[in-house]
Structure 1
Amino acid sequence: MLNASWWWFFGGSFLDALIGPNLFFPGEPFLLAAGYLLSNGPVYGVVSVLIGGFIGDQLSYFIGRRYGVNGRRWLSQRIPKTRRAIARARLVLRKRGPLVVAIARLLGPVAWIMPFIAGSYALPWVTFTVFSLIGLFIGVGQFVLAGFLLAQGIELLPDMATVTLFLKEHSLFVIAFSTASMISLMLYRSKSWKKWLNISVCWLVVMLGANYYHFFVGDAYAFGAKEITNTKQSLPELDYTVYPGLAPVYQAQPINIVVVGSTPQKLMDELGWIENKTFSRDDVTFSRYLSLLSKELPPISDLYWDRQPQWYAYQLAGDLINRKHIRWWYAGKEAQSKKEIWVGSVSYDNALKLAHYKGIITILHAIDPDIDMERDKVAESASEAGWAVQYKQLGKPVAYSKSRHYFSDGRVVVLSKKKSINKI
């Protein structure tokens, strides 16, 4: 841990903000050090640099109020490198006023003399104080954050394999976006009164083309999937989240049902579920896709558990918008019992939405947030069909909010086939 008292951080930030010393004294090392210290727990470094910067700004402002024109003239004559900064600060202060005070710490040399200039031009003290505080948090915060991240180490940054996977998975979207942007720019420069209509049509056509290529032509499902290497598992150690893509940038959906010692096909057959096609496991051509749509059995979009696409997908009878569906993944065998483990994600589609899915933007079904209700219905049906049902707290409770698209108590239904007893 960095061993330094509060005054060390306060003094560095204060001198960095005070007019005169700040022209020669670099304060960034102290701000970075405060972030480094914060990564280990103590917050006094961050508090000290904020207080030091605030007092330095205030003193610089009042020095400007007191000495005004003479102070600017003295700085320009004695320290020539301030002339350009003073002229620029005066210009932007007159044009933008408080906004410039707030962002001055992001404007290089302007930050050195902005509080002094604001005081010399009699910017109201309350206005200066409010907006300089905003600027203080922005300017100091960027270096504190940088110091914090540096202290955490390179592990915070994705490795090259992750970056490569992200770029490969999103390459089609990048090409489509760039193409649509260039065409839109050419259309925008035209004098046609239809240019906005043409731009809209351009984006629609390009994105539809990207979707068609993704689902029916390209190799989006031919890379990145992970093969099972460790077949010895225990239920508490499994991951109970799945994602609509391989790169670690997608919203999670829950694993909420597990079958132990049997296959999901047997369960699904007994409960009357219908098997679906998927893009990763089946060769779905466009004509086949239209045929499945006509039967109200469209292919189910892929989800990935442990970087594997689902092995099987099923749905209950429904229409093109509303349907219950479940995906299954093989998770290996229990370490002790050697029984097969299959994990599943069951949910209910009740709407359509624009979604970020496997590197593209497309229209997919939206799931009902109450996934626990669908889990409980499967458990009830399985119990009636003679399956043993257990609820285990294997997942984490998740509250529904704008950043999450489902809520759950985190419990997982564990199903196993009851042993039949032969009666004599």
Structure 2
Amino acid sequence: MRSEGRGAAVRVNGVEDAIAAAYRGEWARVVAGLTRRFGSLDVAEDAAAEAFAAAVARWPSDGVPPNPGAWLMTTASRKGIDRIRRENQRDGKHREAQAMFDPTPSESVGAIDDDRLRLIFTCCHPALAMESRVALTLRMVGGLTTAEIARAFLTSENTVGQRITRAKAKIKASGIPYRMPSAADLPDRVSGVLTVLFLVFNEGYLATGAGTDPVRAELTAEAIRLARLIHGLIPDDGEVTGLLALMLLSDARRPARISDDGELIPLDEQNRELWDRTLIAEGHVLVRERLAAAADGEVPGRYQILAAIGAVHTTARETGDTDWSQILALYDQLARIDSSPIVALNRAIAVAELDGPEVALAIVDRLEGALSGYHSFHATRADLLRRLGRGQNARAAYDRAIELAGNTAEAATLARRRDRLA
């Protein structure tokens, strides 16, 4: 009896694992296929959810089907048809489908005519507010529940639900088609998609909400998963490759970023033996791929340059081995395409390592008007003042940085550095 019980538990756990793997791998594919078929995000989402619920109910007794994805798509399609019949709104659904689906062939953009990519571009359409794009993408493409999205961004389920509902309504009312952008529009539209993913990753990498974990691994993992999906669909897009590499190289450092006391450990203090070398190796391969493309005349974009900077940092086995001259050259390159004050601030950190804190402080002080409300400005300035022996000024800068910091672990680190001032 005990043996049978253990066997049953193994079978159940195996089915649970299969369902979880199918959910991760097939949710976006099923929702995208249903959206194309029915022309309605609501029908697609509900039918997909019902299909996965059916899998939870039936697979433990019937067994995992040989092709889980095909089973889910077939079941979801039937659920969608049943819903339309039940609601007896076929005419209305057809009108909704016309609003979502544009039968006019779009300009060919190569081998990226994929339903999932259509879905991503629909969810990240520039007509939608950014918070709506994020919520809709995480729900429709990522498969996160409303509750999970709410927890991730420290807001209520009701707020997230309203954002998703408003986004769907906007898509329907504005006639936003479920189609690929034209080749002429593709670069700008891809940029918008990457902005959404980078926002999700950054919220996980350095969470800003009070009372939450300082690092949200579930968000960084989801952003990386979606970036992998897009990279698989658009492997030749340099910025897609660059963003994926940047995420991998940044997330590789996560095991060393939080101390046992809950402080955020700065890069120069991290135990590099804890870094994930598998992720670093994967990120370096992607960076080298883009470097080869640049050697052939392609101009690298923002994410590719940031990924290259990450590659330089993760190449150094010790902090003292960091090639700051190469990092400064990369920031100079980045500044030519992105002259924002934040890029200038980060560049100043490299300047400090090469030319000294006094030269860097002069650069940083010129940014005060643009970055006075940005905690990293004051934290950088405090560190430079500390290195120059100007303790009183450094303390004031640390106080302001702590006041503005939204991350509890980062605030704790700043407080420790402030309290160690002579």
Q: Which of the pair is proportionally richer in strand?
A: 1
Of structures 1 and 2, the larger Rg is shown by: 1
TM-score, length-normalised on structure 1? 0.20
TM-score, length-normalised on structure 2? 0.20
